[in-house]
Amino acid sequence: MNKDLPDWSKSHNGIMLGTFQFTRDNMPEVTPILNELLPMLEGHEDDYLIDVKVHMLMPNQFPCIPNWHLDFLPRGCDGKRTGGERSTKKMFMWLSGAPLTEYKAKDGTITTKPAKSWHSFTQSDLHRGCVAKEFTWRCFIRVIPKEFLHQATLNTGTVRRHTQVYLDASKFKW
């Protein structure tokens, strides 16, 4: 685990589904973190895309979708879910710190994964973002198989110009 993490307040907003090389070129501060993941990949790094989001959070803000959801389900050209079969291929996530992400098992058990370490999940793993309880900077890195990308996905392979936050989970709809 990398002990010398960057000062996220000095990073730009992130990367939208870029290659490993694009991410290294545009956010060199995440290179040591990405290098920790390489032995865990199921294939070559060229088979994956990377999402990086850097948030400046205040208490009561959510850095990601606060309702239970699944990532990168099969979709058609119009962006709507196709009902296609979910893959068992792994996605990978890394968080610099709180707020963390909650995962819900089939039996209803809710868990979180530790910060500053990589963990895997699939298209069938229900999860949701947690609320910030303090003023903080947070970096989120997700690595997905390229084949999960659907035709309606916009702005791939670009530097993020903004990073969205959510405010009230009880009034949020996706």
Residue 74 has a pLDDT of 62
Whether the per-residue pLDDT at 24 is higher than 80: the answer is: yes
Whether the per-residue pLDDT at 22 is higher than 90: the answer is: yes
107-140 per-position pLDDT tens digit: 999 999 999 999 999 989 999 999 999 999 999 9
Give yes or no for a contact between 116 and 36, defined as CB atoms under 8 angstroms apart: no
Q: How confident is the model at residue 2 (pLDDT cuts 50, 70, 90)?
A: very low
34-91 per-position pLDDT tens digit: 999 999 999 999 999 999 999 999 999 999 988 898 887 766 677 677 777 777 899 9
Query: CA dist 132 to 27, 42, 68, 83, 108, Å?
Result: 24, 33, 17, 33, 23
Residue 147 has a pLDDT of 87
Whether the per-residue pLDDT at 4 is higher than 60: the answer is: yes
Query: CA dist 169 to 88, 97, 133, 134, Å?
Result: 29, 20, 14, 17
Domain range 8-171, CATH class: mainly beta
> What is the domain partition of the chain in residue ranges?
8-171
The residue behind tokens 């400046």 is 56
Whether the per-residue pLDDT at 148 is higher than 50: the answer is: yes
State the distance between the two ends of the chain, measured CA to CA, in whole angstroms: 34
Average pLDDT over residues 147-170: 78
Residue 1 has a pLDDT of 46
- Altogether, the residues listed in the chain come to a count of 174
For 20-37, letters b (16+ CB in 10 Å) and e give: bebbbebbebbeebbeeb
Distance, CA of 62 to CA of 87 (rounded, Å): 27
Structure tokens at 105: 């098992």
Give yes or no for a contact between 108 and 134, defined as CB atoms under 8 angstroms apart: no
For 71-100, letters b (16+ CB in 10 Å) and e give: bbbebeeeeeeeeeeebebbbbbbbbebbb
pTM: 0.88
